[in-house]
Amino acid sequence: GQQVMQIPQYQHVQEGEDFTTYCNSSTTLSNIQWYKQRPGGHPVFLIQLVKSGEVKKQKRLTFQFGEAKKNSSLHITATQTTDVGTYFCAGNSNSGYALNFGKGTSLLVTP
């Protein structure tokens, strides 16, 4: 079955440093979504990418979908303590109905 893998599992940065998490799928995806879960909270939808090579930005967050539609990345510029949480990618293949989530990358930002 389809698997979505994320690296790294954990990342600890100083406030102001950049952060990147990577997502890879074993199969071609029809779309990829990114979610953020704060400690003690629930996943919150951030963005969806659909097109090959697509790049989208939300303030300090940059999302990228690979040309082959099998990998994606989330880059945060100049992290802030409010960025703390676990970032999940989730992929949907053409044959699957629901999203398959990666294990997530837990980001810790220290002031």
Partner 1 sequence: ETGVTQTPRHLVMGMTNKKSLKCEQHLGHNAMYWYKQSAKKPLELMFVYSLEERVENNSVPSRFSPECPNSSHLFLHLHTLQPEDSALYLCASSHPGKAYGYTFGSGTRLTVV
Task: Give contact residues for partner 1 (rule: CB under 8 A).
Answer: 4, 33, 35, 41-48, 50, 88, 90, 97-104
Nearest distance from C-beta of residue 92 to partner 1, angstroms: 10
Nearest distance from C-beta of residue 14 to partner 1, angstroms: 26
Q: Which is nearer to partner 1, 4 or 76 (CB)?
A: 4
User: Which one, of 46, 67, 68, lies nearest residue 57 by Cα?
Assistant: 46
Nearest distance from C-beta of residue 104 to partner 1, angstroms: 7
Q: Which is nearer to partner 1, 48 or 73 (CB)?
A: 48
User: Which one, of 53, 21, 15, 16, lies nearest residue 36 by Cα?
Assistant: 21
Q: Which is nearer to partner 1, 17 or 106 (CB)?
A: 106
Task: Count the alpha carbons within 13 Å of 86 in the hemisphere toward its beta carbon.
Answer: 17
* Amino acid in position 88: F
d(CA 31, CA 70): 9
Q: Which is nearer to partner 1, 14 or 97 (CB)?
A: 97
Nearest distance from C-beta of residue 22 to partner 1, angstroms: 15
Q: In terms of C-beta density within 10 A (0-12 exposed, 13-18 middle, 19 or more buried), how is residue 78 classed? A: exposed
